[in-house]
Amino acid sequence: MEDELSRAFAALADPIRRDIVARLTADDMTVTEIASDYDVSLQAVSKHLRVLEAAGLISRRRDGQQRWAHLEVDVFDLLTGWIDTYRRRAELRHQRLDEILRRST
């Protein structure tokens, strides 16, 4: 788990972190706001946010006492980019297979 792709996939493997990401699509939120939604400690949520930040999925801005989390959608492109590359490759292979089968009959 070194590269950005691994960090992004790993970050989204946790249900709480996925849910945080989902909520951040509606609005930027503070740590306390986010933590109130879950049955874990504030510190645990703080850790989750650090993981999301390290994965590039969120950015953070300090405003007085509060730290606002903001969703960064660019990493989504990284993920779908990887997935689509190999999905396309798999589909191409099937198309070629189908063609061979069609020609051989």
Alpha carbon 50 to its chain's center: 13
87 binds, among its own copies, DNA, none (CB under 5 to 8 A by kind): its own copies
Question: Bridge-partner residues for 62, per DSSP?
Answer: 67
51 binds, among its own copies, DNA, none (CB under 5 to 8 A by kind): DNA
User: What DSSP character marks residue 36?
Assistant: T
Nearest to 29 by CA among 55, 50, 58: 58
Instruction: Check residue 21 for interaction with its own copies (CB under 8 A).
Output: yes
Instruction: Report, in Å, the least distance between residue 64 CB and its own copies.
Output: 22
Q: Which is nearer to its own copies, 3 or 65 (CB)?
A: 3
The residue behind tokens 């699509």 is: 25
* 17: enclosing H helix or E strand: helix 15-24
- Site size toward DNA, by CB under 7 A: 27
- 26 token code pair: 């509606």
Where on the chain is the footprint of its own copies (CB under 8 A)?
1-3, 5-6, 9-10, 12-15, 18, 21-22, 24-27, 71, 73, 76, 79-80, 82-84, 86-87, 89-91, 93
